[in-house]
């Protein structure tokens, strides 16, 4: 039954994975984001490369995402291809006892777990880059709206400019891999 789940394509085998380096890649399109009810992304072409270094029960994971997602211009509503580039790190610890270690930086999974589904983590790391407000000008496209570039619009844009650096990910960037 599980094999028919659309999430099954994002299962990483845990028990069968030997120590060392492992790579996985995923080509994400709109249907991937459609798996998540809250997704603002409907169309996308994003390549995700996952690099895993396994040392016993610990997996150091690096997700690199690159591509574009479709965002509607806030002024003329035309769809824009919005670039996305992300690198996120996560440590997975397979353990039955250290649930207190579970945090934003360390994901604790039961040691008997056969596989780990990475869809949710990939979705969240990409969705953080969805712009609060996008307009054609920022994508260097001619805007169909005749509405002048308003003072308020400019302010909104300056605020939304901070969106790619979510504090949660800033913390992840500073995780020390020993």
Q: Quote the CA–CA distance of 18 and 21 in Å, as a whole number.
A: 9
* 73 counts as binding Zn ion under rule CB under 5 A: yes
Q: Quote the CA–CA distance of 67 and 1 in Å, as a whole number.
A: 32
Q: Which of residues 77-96 bind Zn ion (CB under 5 A)?
A: 78
Q: Facing residues of 169 across strands?
A: none
Distances (CA, A) of 6 to 10, 11, 33, 80, 156: 8, 10, 11, 27, 37
Copy the structure tokens of residue 87: 């690198």
* 76 counts as binding Zn ion under rule CB under 5 A: yes
SS3 at position 162:
coil
Are 143 and 76 in contact, with CB atoms under 8 Å apart? Answer: yes
| Closest to Zn ion by CB, 24 or 130 | 130
Min dist CB 136 to Zn ion, Å, is: 3
| Closest to Zn ion by CB, 76 or 109 | 76
Min dist CB 159 to Zn ion, Å, is: 19
Candidate segments 27-35, 50-58, 84-92, 130-138, binder of Zn ion by CB under 5 A: 130-138
* 143 counts as binding Zn ion under rule CB under 5 A: yes
| Closest to Zn ion by CB, 73 or 126 | 73
Min dist CB 111 to Zn ion, Å, is: 52
Distances (CA, A) of 45 to 33, 68, 109, 174: 11, 5, 30, 28
| Closest to Zn ion by CB, 75 or 129 | 75
Min dist CB 39 to Zn ion, Å, is: 22
| Binding positions for Zn ion, rule: CB under 5 A | 73, 75-76, 78, 136, 143
């Amino acid at each position: 039954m599980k094999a028919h789940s659309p999430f099954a394509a994002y299962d990483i085998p845990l028990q069968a994975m030997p120590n060392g380096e492992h790579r996985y890649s995923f080509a994400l399109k709109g249907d991937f984001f459609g798996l998540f009810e809250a997704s603002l992304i409907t169309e996308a072409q994003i390549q995700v490369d996952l690099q895993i270094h396994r040392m016993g029960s610990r997996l150091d994971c690096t997700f690199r995402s690159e591509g574009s997602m479709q965002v509607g211009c806030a002024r003329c509503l035309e769809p824009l291809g919005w670039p996305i580039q992300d690198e996120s790190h996560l440590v997975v610890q397979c353990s039955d006892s250290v649930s207190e270690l579970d945090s934003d930086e360390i994901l604790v999974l039961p040691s008997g777990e056969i596989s780990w589904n990475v869809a949710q983590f990939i979705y969240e790391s990409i969705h953080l880059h969805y712009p609060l407000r996008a307009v054609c000008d920022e994508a260097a496209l001619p805007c169909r709206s005749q509405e002048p570039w308003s003072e308020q619009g400019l302010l909104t844009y300056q605020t939304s400019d901070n969106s790619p650096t979510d504090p949660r990910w800033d913390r992840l960037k500073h995780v020390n891999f020993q």
